């Protein structure tokens, strides 16, 4: 078996670390966190899209760690709210706001919206990058279509999972066991799309630098 190659996972979110390690458990990849490397990297997420923010994080962490990096940016888009919370999902209504309180705010704003118009989607962009001089390698995306419930359901997952209904399953994401969630989730789909690009990236020879005489 090939020796696992280290890849820095550009997040401080322990739930995302757990999910990515589970999804990539069969690959010869050792996903290390900034904490594992003793890194503290601040990235201003100034992008206007999930893709742009994922790229910003992947480039910053690849450079700081001196390793290939995988970064995701993801969130919830609710059609009746014009796509909110969108790229601001993790800090929507204030970074200190708890998710149960965010749910209550969303339910109030959607109170008069009929069930068939409460459509929403989870969206995830994953960027792969290397330290300079190579930089960005590839970006992939994954989505999960669903709807917003009228009350939280389930205790699994994290974030908005208790209010995100998957209509074909008649369950929220928080009601799914981890393996079933990974099979259909936006992050799971994006992560699977990134598998082959990640393996190709790790198979590339180290960049050569010109020598001086």
Indicate the pLDDT class of residue 44, thresholds 50, 70 and 90. Answer: confident
- Residue 210 inside a domain? The answer is no
CA distances 151 to 1, 168, 171, 172, Å, are: 47, 18, 12, 10
Please give the residue range of the domain that contains residue 81.
5-203
Q: State the CATH number of the domain containing residue 66.
A: 3.90.950.10
Confirm if 83 and 76 have CB atoms less than 8 A apart: no
Alpha carbons 8 and 34: distance in angstroms, whole number: 7
- Residue 155 inside a domain? The answer is yes
Cis peptide before 170 (omega within 30 of 0): no
Q: What is the pLDDT of residue 211?
A: 52
If we measure between CA atoms, which residue out of 149, 168, 143 comes closest to residue 72? 143
Lowest mean pLDDT among 11-20, 176-185, 203-212: 203-212
Burial class (CB in 10 A: 0-12, 13-18, 19+), 27: middle
**Residues labelled as active-site residues:** 73
How many separate domains does the chain show? 1
- Residue 211 inside a domain? The answer is no
Percent of the chain with pLDDT over 90: 84
If we measure between CA atoms, which residue out of 39, 35, 3 comes closest to residue 16? 35
Confirm if 140 and 192 have CB atoms less than 8 A apart: no
Q: What is the pTM of this model?
A: 0.91
Look over the chain and give the mean of its residue pLDDT values, rounded to a whole number: 93
Tens of pLDDT, residues 149-188: 999 999 999 999 999 999 999 999 999 999 999 999 999 9
Indicate the pLDDT class of residue 208, thresholds 50, 70 and 90. Answer: low
- Residue 66 inside a domain? The answer is yes
């Amino acid at each position: 078996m090939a020796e696992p190659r280290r890849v820095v996972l550009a997040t401080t979110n322990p739930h995302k670390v757990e999910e990515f390690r589970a999804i990539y458990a069969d690959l010869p990849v050792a996903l290390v966190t900034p904490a594992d490397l003793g890194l503290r990297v601040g990235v201003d997420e100034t992008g206007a899209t999930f893709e742009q923010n994922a790229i910003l994080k992947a480039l910053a962490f690849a450079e700081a760690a001196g390793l290939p990096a995988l970064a995701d940016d993801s969130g919830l888009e609710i059609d009746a709210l014009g796509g909110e919370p969108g790229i601001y999902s993790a800090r929507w209504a204030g970074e200190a706001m708890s998710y149960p309180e965010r749910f209550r705010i969303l339910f109030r704003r959607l109170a008069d919206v009929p069930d068939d118009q409460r459509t929403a989607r989870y969206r995830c962009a994953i960027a792969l990058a290397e330290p300079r001089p190579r930089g960005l390698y590839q970006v992939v995306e994954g989505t999960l279509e669903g709807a917003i419930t009228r009350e939280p359901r389930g205790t699994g997952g994290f974030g908005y999972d208790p209010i995100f209904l998957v209509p074909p399953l008649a369950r929220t994401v928080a009601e799914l066991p981890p393996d079933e969630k990974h099979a259909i989730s936006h992050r799971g789909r994006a992560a699977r799309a990134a598998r082959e690009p990640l393996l190709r990236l790790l198979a590339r020879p180290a960049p050569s630098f010109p020598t001086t005489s």
